[in-house]
Structure formats: structure tokens, C-alpha cells
Chains A and B, each alone.
Chain A
Amino acid sequence: MVKGGDNMKNISDQELLEKSELHKKAAESRESARRYQEKFIGKTMVPEFQADGQKLKTANELVIRRSTKKESVGYRVFVVFNNILMLMISLATLYPFIYLVAQSFSSEAAIIQNKVSIIPVGFNITTYISVLSKGDFLNYYKNTIVYAIIGTVLSLIFTSCLAYPLSKPLKANKFLTPFVIFTMYFGGGLIPNYVWITRLGLKGSMWGFLLPMMIGTFYVLLMKSFFTNTPKELEEAGELDGLSKIGIFVRIVLPLSKPIVATMTLFYAVLYWNHWFNAFLYLRKPQWPVAYYLKTIITGASSAEPGEVTAEKMQIASNVKSCAMVLMVLPIICVYPIVQRYYVQGMMLGGVKE
């Protein structure tokens, strides 16, 4: 069983064999690791309840099962009403997107005549082709992708490197936790931040865009409370196996933190993808992300004096605007439902304190 290799590991394995107590403890820990994994990484989303020997996922399911028995007329009316209302809310939420898509595929003439409301009129893809064939747009899009990737990776590293030690009973945390949380309540305002970032020489570089939002305190706290809920026995097992503190974090805690890491990845990626204000303050034109480019075409064309802008000019802009907006939002719409399971879980575990 124990042959050659890492000396440290041999010793600890030997010790485990000799001291059966420790061995048992480690086994228990592994067992609880398995259970933990099943519970949080597996299919379940919310704490389970044991009722009458039946496993029930949520309180909701119980209501569902019971409601098939017998229903009052009032309740049946309510169910119909409720479903219609939910349908309407969903449609109302989706409508602005539908409208944008319809506009982006419509002909200019149709939009000018106010014909477009849900379905594209005078279907064409020339708007898309003209937007995409302009070098500018693709460049801004490329910038956004670069910023989102670099920013998300760095944010994930630094956020977890801060959140994990904060979740431990370290002596300094009595001081460090308030130190971090206080920034949620109070900060340098717009002007002091602007003055300082400029003074640091970050204006005109992509770090001016990325660094000011590199670590979100809310996200740190979300991760921290997730780590706090990681079973202690697991980390003790790691310690018995001779892992260092960082080793425990990398080899044991992180692999168990898939839900929160996925949540953070989504949140940070969306944050960088959507952000425009730092670009406005600190970036030069070739460095713009697509969000800021959108800002310039949205507030540029229509805006202050609607009467003065000629109808034609406004409509063409509408066409292009919608097209650019659809292109910008498309990746988010494609990705966020896939990760929904994780972020709902992540929000719940982080938000619901013990």
C-alpha cells in the first residue's frame, strides 16, 4: 500500500493505520464529503425535509401533490387567474426583447411607417451585415470579450482568495471583516475615485476599466458564507493527509464549491460585459467595450430634442441601434439560463444565513 514516493505522505498514511481512531475519523470525514457532494453538487437545490418517510424536495411540491385531491371553486378560479397573470408577466418581460429583434430585422421603410411592433416587417438581414462589416463594431465586441475574460479570471482569483480566509476563525478577521464590509456602506464618491484612478496613471489603459471593479464586496460575502458552510470534517481530513492550508483550499474546498464558483463566474462576467461607465471615464476610443459604443449611439442619435431630429435619421438609427443591442445581449441570453441552477443555489446558500 505504502510504496516509495512522497515521504511525507507515507508517514501520514502509516500513522493513519496505526492510530485507528484517526483512521476512523478520516473515514467519517470522507463519508461526509460524499454526502455533502451529493447534497450540494448533485441534483438537490434546497434543503430536504423528511416527512412521513417520504423525501420531499420543497414545500412547494407538497402543496402540488395535495392540491390534486380536492379543490374549492375559489381555488380553481385562482389557479386560472394566476397562470394567466404569470403568462402576462412573462410576455411583458420578453416584449422589449421581441421588439428589438423585430426592429433589427425590419426594413427602414416599415419602421418609419410605424408598422413594426412584434413581427419584423420587410424582413432583411442587411442591417446586421452592415453593422458587422463595420470594423469598429467588431473591434468593440472583441474588446468586450477580452475584458470579460481577463476581468472574470482575476476577479474570481482575488475574490476567493479573500473570501476563504475570511470564512476561517482567524484572529485578524475580527478587524478584517468589518474592514471589508465597511466599503459597502461608504466609499470615495465619483470625484475622489476619478481623481485617484487618473493619478495612478490608469487612464487610457484597460486597467482603468477593470481594476476599479475587480473585487465586489457583496460577492466576497456571498462566497464567504458559502465557504463557512463547507463541512469542517473535510478540511480536517485534508489536514490529516498532510495538506497545507492553501492545499486544503485548492484541493478540497474549491472542488466542492462548484455552485458558488459558477455563480461568481456568471456574475462577474455579466458585470464586465455590461459595464460602460469606467470606459466612459478612462478609455480611449479604440479601447471601448461594446457597451460604451452602444451608449454613444443610444444617447447620441435621439435624445435631447426629439423634434429637431429628422424622422429618417431617427429611424435608421433605430434599426442599427436595435441590431447592436441584440448582438450585445445575445451571449447573455444564451448563457444565463444554463447556469440558473447554480446561481439560484448560490444566492440561496449565500443569502440565507444560519
Chain B
Amino acid sequence: MSELTDKSAVRASQKLADADKSKEIVVRRRNPLKKHIKLNWQLYAMMAIPLIYYVVFRYIPMAGNIIAFRRYRAGSSVLGDEWSGLKYFNQFINQASFRRVFKNTLWLNVSYLAFRFPMTLAFALLLNELRNIRWKKFVQTVSYLPHFISVVLVAGMIRELVSASGPINNLLESLGMARVLFLSESKWFTTIFVTSGLWQSLGWGTILYLAAMANINPNLYEAAEVDGAGHFRRVLHVTIPSIMPTIATLLILDFGSLVGSGASFEKVYLIYNPMIYEKADIISTFVFRMGLGSGSYSYATAIGLFEGVINLVLLSVANFTAKKVVGNGLW
């Protein structure tokens, strides 16, 4: 009974489907967009809330950058009161403290990159040479750990480790040297910044390299071995050339973020103090103090926008270069 009705239902539905098809063809000819939406409206519906989110929490603040050109006071509209032209830009460009933070940002980024880049690569290569899988996993797990730690904790650790009574000073004393107030002397800041940065990122930075190495065809190693290449030659002539695209991509993209100070903001903010502003103050911390500290919203926004535009240009150039040279960009 039920099968019978099923069959007739099938036949009926097939007829309907055929009718639908002929209709669809007509519809497609007339309006492909309508058909596209009819087919995929659920996918668009899924995206709706996230896209609204992007407008509200990403694009409106982006438009809010306009207060760099308009006077903003507490209580005025989000887009400021009246046009002020390039007044705020002229102000900071001619300011010595702005030049200082620009120089510091660049210097810290360059120093950090100069150590981080070769060391990450070397660490990845050495990790790849570990024979015992468990031991390798252990080293990886341990070296990833700092990546998951809050910047607050990193800053707390730095402060504890280099404090006047911390283990580093204890070590110095036991070696017969005087104790040093590391966070009160600006000459130590770059060292602290770079060392803690390496501690945070060395392990995590190897992930993409290790992924690239895992993708190397083992036949290449075999071929190299048949040709009489030893372990070191195999690394030199198989591993490194094989991961060269990854190396190049990461390096080029790193160059693109040399003027960025946003990523370092939290760490610097949590460990610096007025005594070491000379070396430690960077663009983002300067923006923070000028804006939320002294209430010069428009002025601070102008500086932030200046940095943002430079970053946008540098990153685009870097991404473009990476795509041209290596055929692989950021995304």
C-alpha cells in the first residue's frame, strides 16, 4: 500500500522535477543571479551575522580614523566636530618624541628579526634531525608552550627574572659582578625585548618549516644518498632547497611588518617605564599615552593612522613580492 503510493509519488515528483528543470533553464537564461541566490541563499544567510560584525567592529572603526583630520573632543560625535586638515600630522612629524618612537620601533623590529629569523630556521632544521620521535615531540611541545602564555605572564616573568633580586642578578653576583637594574637602564631594553621575544616565538615559528619539511618527497633523500651525499649534504642539497619557498615567503612577509608596533604593544607597555622611554617607547605605546593618557584623541589617531598606512603599503608590497617571486603570498 505504502509502496504503491510511494511509487506514484515518485512518478509525480519526477514530472514536477522535469517541469522544474525546464523552468530552471528558462530562468537561467533570464536571470542567472536569481538562480544563484535561490541555490545558495542558505550560505549567504550563514554569513550574514559575521559580515555585519565585520562592518560594525572592523569597518566603522576604520572610518573612525577620520578624526585624524577632524577635531575630536570627549562627547563629540564619533566622527569629530570640525575639519582640521593636516594640523595633527604636521604636529607630530615635527616632534622629536615622535621621531624617537619611530626610530625605536624600527630598531626593535630589525634587531628582533635579525635574531629570530635565522634562529627559527636553524631550530627547525635541528629539530628535524632528531631521531627519537618521542624526544622530538617533547622538545616541540615544550618549545610551543610560551606561545600559549598571556603577555601579562611573559611580562611578569621578565620582571621577576631580571629584578634586582632575581635569578639573573643572583648569577651575576655569584660570578663576582655587580647587580644590575635591567629595567631601569635603557641600554638593556633591546636585549630584554629580543631575548624574551625569542623565548616566546622560537618553537612556534618552526611549525611552517616543519610542515614544509614533512612534505619533502623521501625519494629525493634516497636519490641523494645513492649519489653519495652524507647527512649534512642531504640537508644542504635536499632539505634547504625544498623549503626555500617557505623561507622566502616568511622572510619577505617579515620585512613587510618592520614598521609595525601593534604586535609589541602589550609586552612593551607592561615592562617599560619612563626611565627607559628613550629606547623602549614605540609608536603604539606613544599613541596610547597621547590618546588615552592625555586625551589628545585626534593627535593620537593621526599617529596611529600614519603607522597604519605605512604598514598597509609595506605589507601589500611584501605580499605582492612574495606572490611574484615565490608564487605564494600571505593568503
Chain A residues within CB distance 8 Å of chain B: 2-4, 7, 10-11, 14-15, 45-47, 49, 51, 56, 58-64, 66-67, 71-72, 74-75, 78-79, 82-83, 85-86, 89-90, 92-94, 96-97, 99-100, 103, 111-112, 114, 117, 158-159, 161-162, 164-166, 168, 170-172, 176, 179-181, 183-196, 199, 211-212, 214-215, 221, 244-246, 249, 270, 273-277, 281, 291-292, 294-295, 298-299, 302-304, 306-307, 311, 314-315, 318, 321-322, 325, 328-329, 332-333, 336-337, 340, 344, 347-348, 351-353
Contacts and interface: CB of A to CB of B under 8 A. Distances in A.
Interface string B203-243: 10001100111111111011001000011101000000000
A180 to B, nearest CB: 6
A111 B40 CA distance: 65
Nearest to B50: A162
B257 to A, nearest CB: 10
Contacts of B25: none
27 contacts: A14-B10, A56-B218, A60-B128, A60-B213, A74-B230, A89-B123, A90-B143, A93-B199, A96-B157, A96-B161, A161-B47, A162-B46, A165-B44, A184-B331, A185-B311, A186-B62, A189-B287, A190-B287, A192-B65, A192-B67, A194-B292, A215-B50, A276-B152, A291-B150, A294-B156, A322-B160, A325-B153
A327 B212 CA distance: 37
A64 B129 CA distance: 8
Interface string B175-199: 0000001011000000000000001
Candidate in B152, B215, B270 with the most chain A CB atoms within 10 angstroms: B152
Contacts of A74: 230, 232
Closest CB pairs A-B (n = 7): A188-B61, A192-B64, A189-B304, A274-B150, A162-B50, A245-B42, A46-B214
Give the interface size class of chain B: 35 or more
Given A195-B297, A212-B57, A276-B152, A304 B50 contact: no
Nearest to B274: A304
B131 A67 contact: yes
A175 B39 CA distance: 19
A89 B141 contact: no
B214 A189 contact: no
A195 B72 contact: yes
Interface of B: 2-3, 6-7, 9-10, 13, 33, 36, 40, 42-47, 49-51, 53-54, 57-65, 67, 72, 78, 123, 126-131, 133, 135-146, 148-153, 155-157, 159-161, 163-165, 167, 170, 173, 181, 183-184, 199, 202-203, 207-208, 211-219, 221-222, 225, 230-232, 234, 266, 270, 273-275, 284, 287-288, 291-292, 297, 300-301, 304-305, 307-309, 311-312, 315-316, 328, 330-331
A62 B218 contact: yes
B163 A314 contact: yes
Chain B binding surface, main DSSP class: helix
B156 A161 contact: no
Nearest to B235: A63
A116 B320 CA distance: 52
B50 A10 contact: no
Contacts of B42: 244-246
Candidate in A10, A79, A315 with the most chain B CB atoms within 10 angstroms: A10
A11 B199 contact: no
B36 A183 contact: no
Contact of B284 (A176, A190, A302): A190
A117 B170 contact: yes
Contacts of B165: 111-112, 114, 311, 314-315, 318
A158 B50 contact: yes
A183 B62 CA distance: 9
A141 to B, nearest CB: 14
Contact of B49 (A158, A328, A336): A158
A344 B131 contact: no
Contacts of A58: 214
B301 A191 contact: yes
A45 B133 CA distance: 13
A190 B36 CA distance: 40
B51 A332 contact: no
Contact of B54 (A92, A117, A179, A185): A179
B311 A186 contact: yes
A30 B277 CA distance: 63
B150 A93 contact: no
A276 B150 contact: yes
